Structure 1
């Protein structure tokens, strides 16, 4: 049994409440269980209890063993002085507040419903090889419960991404255009090169690029030069185009006191990448985008459909980077593909718009932004395939994102009691 099971039992009052008493024999009446606390401090806040003849308002702390109170050093933490009841599995010790006063305890071990505990144990102790902890029991769960849980997980995933955007927005002086630039730069790395591109964005401020947004050659020199791709080597020795960009970069670097290149060639990742995904190819596409779309944020915010956003991302790279996979090495390079654009919409556009919607308090923008995911095709990978096989609805990117969130936040860490599906399977009729 884990502590989260006792949290669940207390929150839903799934235990025998007949003649409920503290370990000292005082009668307990639960008037309000309290609200789960996601921050530091006691587990449940604003609880209301009658203990003996006195009504108390305060917090409830929960542990598997009462001695965990001291093990976690709560007796020296003033945040826990508000605790009015210590709910435990086993009462193996008395606990005190910082002033030495005793805290009443409720021991639940003997009051737990065996069937409830058995179902919970079956979920959290399912074999690691099982596709999902609840797989054998999914037929008992109504479709509406599964659908609503996937939708909830989707919104949680989008909100987490939006929170990351908001943090970026704060670090950039609340400049939404700069936020869009940094978010897009990192996203164009498509995981393998996200970190180097994020570093490049920090080393090459949008304020500098804005001054040259109408001159694609200068944008190219700035981005490729600071990325470390304009070095003189065997492949570029006779490449006049790269030599010209190198000279332009040197001029602009000194003009803006940019220092040496922010990265060197070996910091970019090529392993297991197809040539169409090579960093210089992606950087060329970014040059085309920054040149053709001088106002990134406004365009991403006002686009009314996936079709409009797809058109936004289809700006052409400079001609050289349509025929070179890397400096000095030729080859036919495809443009930014539909799958890549869909990922950019999913991982940048939607979270960016949701973050802005919260910033200006426009909930309708949140709804319309998340709805964009329903216009995108479903993503298929090793995680979503598991849910497909178990009969979960999986038709659009909204479904995919919800299923990925369900896997990462609930199924993989065995947080079954926090999931509507797992909770449904564990629930039993309440005792008195």
Structure 2
């Protein structure tokens, strides 16, 4: 049994309350169980309890064993002095506050119904390799519960992504254009090269790039030079175009005191990438985009549809990078594909717009931004396909994002009791009938 099961039982009061008494025999009446504390300190705050003839307002701490109080050193932590009831599965020790005053305990072990425990164990004992602990039991869950939980997970995922954008915005001095630039650069790495591209964004300051956006060749020189791609080698020794970019980069690097290139060629990832995804190809596409779209944030914020955003991302790469997979290595290079554009809208545009909308208090913009995901096709991967096979809706990118969030935040870490689906299964018909 995990401690979060006792949290769940206490929060919903799913235990036998007949003749409820402390371990010391004092009568207990739970007026309000309190609310979960997400920060350091006791598990539940603002609880209201009547112990004997006295009503208490305070905190409730929960452990599997009462002796866990000492094991966690709560007896010397003043944050736990507000605890008025110690709820445990097994009462094996008396506990006290920092001043030595005893804290009454309630042992739930004998008060848990066998059906409740059996339903919990059915989830808790699912094999570690099972992608969904509840997979064999999903037939017991109404479709509306699954839909609701996937939508809730989607919103939580968008909120988390918007939080990351907001933190980036704060680090960049509350400059939304710079935020869009840094977010876009990192996203163009499509996971494999996100970290190097995020470093490159720092190495090519937006203030410098803005001064040269009118000149595509200078944009190329800044990006490819600071990325470490303009070094001379066997492939580039006779390439006049690369030599010209190298000279341009040297001039700009010294002019703006940019220092040495931020990255070396070996720091870019090529393993298991198709040539169309090679870092120089993506960097060429970025150079074309940054040259053709001088106002990134405004364009991403005001686009009214997925079609308009797709057009924004279709800015052509410079001619050289449409014909070279790597410096000095020719080959026909495709344009930025639709699936890549869809991912950029999902991972950059929507979180950026949501973060901005929250900062200026525009809930309608939050809603319309998230709604863009319903215009995009579903993403298919090893995680989403599992949920799709189990009957979860999987038609749009909104569905995909919800299922990915469900996997990452609930199923993989086995947080079944925090999930509406798991909670429904643990409740069972008897508990639902009594609510």
Q: Could you say which TM-score interval applies, normalised by the shorter chain?
A: over 0.9
Q: Supply the RMSD in Å over aligned alpha carbons.
A: 1.1
Secondary structure, counterpart of 2:334 in structure 1: coil
Instruction: Provide the C-alpha distance between the structure 2 equivalents of 1:68 and 1:164, rounded to a whole number of angstroms.
Output: 35
Aligned match of 2:59: 59
Shift >2 Å, 4+ stretches: 128-131, 428-432
Instruction: Provide the C-alpha distance between the structure 1 equivalents of 2:71 and 2:365, rounded to a whole number of angstroms.
Output: 47
Aligned match of 2:108: 108
Instruction: Provide the C-alpha distance between the structure 1 equivalents of 2:358 and 2:39, rounded to a whole number of angstroms.
Output: 21
Instruction: Provide the C-alpha distance between the structure 2 equivalents of 1:100 and 1:362, rounded to a whole number of angstroms.
Output: 51
Aligned match of 2:324: 324
Aligned match of 2:417: 417
Secondary structure, counterpart of 1:184 in structure 2: helix
Asked if residue 270 in structure 1 is aligned to residue 273 in structure 2, the reply is: no
1:104-253 alignment, distance < 5 Å: 104-253=104-253
TM-score by length of 1: 0.99
TM-score by length of 2: 0.98
Instruction: Provide the C-alpha distance between the structure 2 equivalents of 1:304 and 1:44, rounded to a whole number of angstroms.
Output: 44
1:116-171 C-alpha deviation (Å, 9 max, x unpaired): 11111111111234342111111111100000000000011111111111111111
Gaps of 5+ in 2: none
- Cα displacement (A) at 1:273: 0.5
Instruction: Provide the C-alpha distance between the structure 1 equivalents of 2:228 and 2:398, rounded to a whole number of angstroms.
Output: 38
Instruction: Provide the C-alpha distance between the structure 2 equivalents of 1:131 and 1:270, rounded to a whole number of angstroms.
Output: 30
Asked if residue 87 in structure 1 is aligned to residue 87 in structure 2, the reply is: yes
1:313-352 alignment, distance < 5 Å: 313-352=313-352
| 2:323–2:331 contact (8 Å) kept in structure 1 | yes
Instruction: Provide the C-alpha distance between the structure 2 equivalents of 1:393 and 1:382, rounded to a whole number of angstroms.
Output: 16
Q: How many residues align?
A: 432
Aligned match of 2:353: 353
Instruction: Provide the C-alpha distance between the structure 2 equivalents of 1:280 and 1:193, rounded to a whole number of angstroms.
Output: 11
1:163-217 C-alpha deviation (Å, 9 max, x unpaired): 1111111111111110110000000000000000001111111111011111111
Instruction: Provide the C-alpha distance between the structure 2 equivalents of 1:279 and 1:107, rounded to a whole number of angstroms.
Output: 60
Instruction: Provide the C-alpha distance between the structure 2 equivalents of 1:198 and 1:322, rounded to a whole number of angstroms.
Output: 23
Asked if residue 48 in structure 1 is aligned to residue 45 in structure 2, the reply is: no
| 2:131–2:412 contact (8 Å) kept in structure 1 | no
Secondary structure, counterpart of 1:427 in structure 2: helix
Aligned match of 1:254: 254
Gaps of 5+ in 1: none
Aligned match of 1:375: 375
1:308-366 C-alpha deviation (Å, 9 max, x unpaired): 10000000111000000010000000010000000001111111111111111111111
